[in-house]
Every structure is written in C-alpha cells, then in structure tokens.
Amino acid sequence: MNRRRAVSDLVSFTLVFSTIVFLIGALTVTGITTLNDVRVGTESNVAEETMLSFATTLSDHRTDGAPTRSTTIKLQGHSFRHADSTVNVTVTSGGSTSHLRIDTGAFVRETNTGTRLVYASGGVFRIGESGGVIVVRQPPIRCGTTSAHLPLTSVRSDANLSADGRVTVRSELTDQRLRYPATTSQSTTASSVSINVSDTARPEAWQTYLDDSAGWNDRTASGHPYEYECSLGSADPTGRVVVHESQIDVTVVN
C-alpha cells in the first residue's frame, strides 16, 4: 500500500513539475516576444517622430522663406537616403493645356525591421513591411470646388548613409517660384488640374493620401493609373489653380 502511494506521489510530482516547467517556458517565450514587439514599435515610433521633425524643418523654407536650417536625426542604425521622385501636373484652361514635370525628390528612412518612413513634398508616409501605408503628415496639396493649390517641395541631395548615432542635416532654400501660372501675364483661371504620381518614389503612398483627400477623383478607370483630377466646375475656365515649387538643397554634415 505504501509502495503504491509512493509511486502515485512520484507521478503526481512529475506531472506538477512538468507543468511548472512548461508554464515557465511559455511565459518566457511570450515575454521575450512581447518585449521584442515593444522594442520594434518604440524604434519605429522614434523614427517616425524624427522624420516628422525633419519635415517641419523643411516646411519652414516653404512657408517662411527661411534661407537655411539645421536639424539632428538619430538614425539608430537605420538607413537614410535620397530617392528620385517626380510629380506630373496637368492644368486645363479652356482649350489650352499646360504640362508640368516637377522633380520633387524624396527621402526614405528604413528601420531594421523593414518599416519605411518616406518624406515626399511636405508629407510623411509610414510604410510597413507588409506594404500597408499610414499617412503620418499630409502633403499640403488642396483641391476645392473653385480653386486648387499645389505647393510642391523639391529636395536635392546625395545623402545615402546609415549610422548608429545622430547626424546633422543642413538644408538651404535655393529657389521659390510659380510653376503655374508660369508668367505674370498668364491667368490663374482653369477648369481642372490633374496630378500623376506614378513616377514618385512611392506611388502607393500618394495613392493612399489622394484617395482620402476631398476633391481628388481617381482616373484609374479612365486608363490613367495613379492620376487624380481636381475639377473646378464647368468646362469654362472659371476656377483658379496655383502650382508653387520650393527647391531645397539638403546636406548631411556629419
């Protein structure tokens, strides 16, 4: 009898001990996964805040005409590079059409987990590893019922680096000019304006923004993918369109 009881106690102890070991292992794995998720999320959030600060600095040139600015970017081992990006704008006024090709450029910061933070003409987009897009900061492009304003920011740089610490980025306003109307004698009146973002660094990011922006109509069904039109009333040129470009040179100092 005592022997059977001893065997039963031993089996019970083994089962309890095995259960405890399993739970400890499961909690450890879950805890490590949770901590890793927190670390990844925090890293991406810091990268996002840094790019927002960078975008705010560049907007000072466009809105205030600031000649130069400097900002510090903490890269945390991430890459930071300039990318080619072009926005094509078409303004229709009565029977005439004006085509504008504006090389805006873009900046792409990629984290160690594959998340990309993209600066593009005043906007900041967060693109996940799976391709999902979040508009963190909207580009200042507006379409109304009777007017449209496209203040585009063009950035030029040879930046292509990665670093563990902080780098200082210097920006200089080199030019500000009207692209439409091109001359003082040309009228701002127009019946519509279209923007095509197929040649931008991240067309899907612009697409996400424009899909949710008031006034812009997707022309994909008409055979023009990544093109959006802002209609300003009737075919008669009664609306008003202004396209403005600010050109900025960006240099990584250290």
- How do the domains of the chain map onto residue ranges? 39-252
The neighbour count for residue 29, using CB atoms within 10 Å, is 10
pLDDT score, position 167:
94
53 φ, ψ (degrees, to nearest 5): -65, -40
Quote the pTM value: 0.82
pLDDT digits (tens, 9 = 90+) for 69-85: 999 999 999 999 999 99
Whole-angstrom distance between the N-terminal and C-terminal Cα of the chain? 81
Percent of the chain with pLDDT over 90: 70
Are the CB atoms for 98 and 180 separated by under 8 Å? Answer: yes
95 φ, ψ (degrees, to nearest 5): -95, 0
Q: Which of residues 16 and 87 earns the better pLDDT score? A: 87
pLDDT above 60 (res 198): yes
Nearest to 248 by CA among 83, 118, 104: 104
Q: What is the pLDDT confidence band of residue 194, given thresholds at 50, 70 and 90? A: very high
CA distance 11 to 13: 5
Mean pLDDT for the stretch of residues 226-249: 88
pLDDT score, position 30:
52
pLDDT above 50 (res 33): no
CA distance 8 to 21: 20
CA distance 66 to 51: 19
pLDDT score, position 38:
42
pLDDT score, position 190:
92
Taking CA 227 as the corner, what is the angle to CA 222 and CA 228, rounded to the nearest 5 degrees?
A: 95
H helices of the chain, in order, are 2-64, 203-211
pLDDT score, position 185:
78
pLDDT score, position 46:
85
pLDDT score, position 84:
98
Least trusted range by pLDDT, from 1-15, 81-95, 214-228 = 1-15
Query: Residue 216's beta-bridge partner residues?
Result: 230
Q: What is the pLDDT confidence band of residue 216, given thresholds at 50, 70 and 90? A: very high
Mean pLDDT of the chain: 87
CA distance 243 to 47: 31
Least trusted range by pLDDT, from 9-18, 124-133, 163-172 = 9-18
224 φ, ψ (degrees, to nearest 5): -125, 80
Q: What is the pLDDT confidence band of residue 17, given thresholds at 50, 70 and 90? A: low
- Amino acid at position 177, single letter: R
Could you tell me which residues come within 8 angstroms of residue 233 by beta carbon, excluding any fewer than 6 positions away? Answer: 145, 146, 191, 239
CA distance 14 to 195: 71
pLDDT score, position 43:
67
pLDDT score, position 3:
54
pLDDT digits (tens, 9 = 90+) for 93-128: 878 899 999 999 999 999 999 999 999 999 999 999
pLDDT digits (tens, 9 = 90+) for 143-158: 998 999 999 999 999 9
CA distance 226 to 196: 6
Mean pLDDT for the stretch of residues 212-235: 91
